[in-house]
Each structure stands twice: as C-alpha cells, then as structure tokens.
Amino acid sequence: MEKGKNSYNNLKEKKQKILDIIKTKGPSLPAVISREISVSLLLTSALLSDMRAEKSIRLSRLKIGGSPLYYIQGQEVQLENFVKHLPHKEREAFDLLKKKEIIDETKVEPAHRVAFNNIKDFAFPLHVKHEDSEKIFWRFHSISQEDAFKKISELFTKKKIKLDKLQFKLKEEKKGEQKEQKEQKEQKEKKEEKQKPKSVRKRARSKEDFRNKVLSWIGAKGIDLVEESEDDNVIGVVSAKSTLGKLNFLLIAKRKKTINEADLSLAYQKGQQNKMPVLFLTTGKMTKKAQSYIKSLGKFIIVNSI
C-alpha cells in the first residue's frame, strides 16, 4: 500500500502548505492558493472544502468576483482589507458601523439596514427586549459581545430605563456567529477531552467500530481486502468479482452526514493517484451537486451507502 500512503502524505503536505500560505499572506482566494501550490483549481477547491470541514480554515461571506476568501481564526480583522470590493451601500454601512461600533437599527436608513445583513463578516445583530418591545442593535465584529452589551446598557441608562428590565436575547444571535461560537466551544472541549484517557479511548473505539462496519459490509458482498491502509478514510485496496474477472478498487469510507462534491473529488483524485477506480462507502447522503458530479465520473468511482 506504499502508493496509497504516498498519495495520502502528499495531500497532507498540500494542506499544510495551504495553511502556511494563509498564515503568511492572510485571507486568500482559491485561485491564488492554486497557483502557489501548483495544483488544479478543482483539487485546490476540494482540499479547501475538506480543510474547512476539519475546521482548520474558515470561509468568508465577502466575495471577490464571486469567489470567497479562506482564512484562519484570528485573521478576521484582515478581511477589512477587502472591503473595497463591497458594493457602495455595503461599504457605507461598514464605515458607519466601524465608526459607531454599536448602532440602533431604527436610527439608520432602510438601505443600510439591508446592507448590514449583507456584510455578515463585519456586522452582527443583537436583539434587546424591553417590556413588550424589542429592538435590534448591530455591533461591529471587532467589538466583543460583552462590550456591546455595556454600550447598549449605557444608551438605555441615559433614557432612565432600569438595566434589570433589559433582556438580551442571545439565542437569536446571528447564525454565523452562533456557528463560530459553537466551533470555538467544540474546539475547547476537544482539547479538554484529549487530556482524558477515557475520552481518547472512546474516540478510538468509535473509529474502530466504523472501520469494522466497513469491513463487515465488504465481507458480506464477497469483496476481499487485499491491502490495508493506516489512513482513517482510505481502508485499502479491495478485490471484487466482475464480468471481466477480479478487479481492484481503492476502498474509501467516509463517516459523514452529508457527502458533497469536494468529498467525491478528493476520493477520485486519490483513485487517480493510485491508478485504480474507487469504491466509496459512506453513512451519509449525497447533495444534489454531488449526485450530478458522480455521473460525470462514470465508472471511475462507485458509491454505496452502508
């Protein structure tokens, strides 16, 4: 399985190189990264999608020529370097919010209210309830949630409204921010879990259970495992009967709820590098784009649910 290991290591090297590029150059476009690592844009996009799923990189909402920027946590402020690519009203809304830090939505013109919703990298809504009324305030991305609450509280204090009557509806925070906070929490929990031997063993058992499930499935289908791989996703080389005799396939298994085009593209590339078709097993469902993409690959990749 030397070729399989080499191709896997090559992909790991490409991902590391992508990380190094983004760390050095800041938020980057897929086309720029593609040129830097000397890999096709299709495979680069697949690698970036895979890295985003692994949460090693992030994706901006801001787009340049229809293409988003990829960045790592801590580089959010560097996205401001690309504000010039925003439409006119969005740039106005950005400048206004950056200057004021906190804005009462009722105090701005309708066009800017719409614009705040369109600059999701920089503007986050806070819902504040007072008695029977509710107001929406927008905060600039570099202002912490805690500082935002203080500033809003100060505004209400000037109106002689008691602070204990204010309710900050955190559960209605923008989905993008909820996701970001959830990711940060999950990352923190993962670090803590790594220090717990029982948790480590549990994760190891989970991976082993999935691998055994895959091996049981191919065994039931009369497919033989010829060579094994240490890669979590690449199980190894398998041999299956066909009308032309026995054929070898690169067996790739993915434990994921949703399989997208990037997952299939990476699997296809691994198959091409190993010069054999791919048997792709998954516990998830394919997106419509993935279903369309699989048709274009013909017999080079076979997908089955387990």
| pLDDT (tens digit per residue) in 259-277 | 988 888 888 888 877 788 8
CATH, range 198-305: 3.40.1350.10
What letter represents residue 198's amino acid? K
Residues 6+ apart with CB under 8 A from 92: 112, 115
CB atoms within 10 A of CB 196: 10
Say whether 28 sits in a helix, a strand or coil. Answer: strand
Residue span(s) of the chain under CATH 3.40.1350.10 come to 198-305
pLDDT at res. 192: 58
d(CA 257, CA 1): 28
Q: What pLDDT does residue 6 have?
A: 55
User: Topology of domain 17-81, per CATH?
Assistant: Arc Repressor Mutant, subunit A (1.10.10)
pLDDT digits (tens, 9 = 90+) for 112-160: 888 898 899 999 998 887 666 778 899 999 998 888 888 888 877 655 4
Identify the DSSP state of 131: T
pLDDT at position 65: 79
Extract the residue ranges of the chain whose pLDDT is less than 70.
Answer: 1-9, 130-132, 157-205, 230-233, 243-244
Residue type, 21: I
Cite the residue boundaries of each domain of the chain with CATH code 1.10.10.10: 17-81
Q: Are strands 245-254 and 234-242 parallel, antiparallel or unpaired?
A: antiparallel
- Centre a 10 Å sphere on the Cβ of residue 192 and count the other Cβ atoms it contains: 10
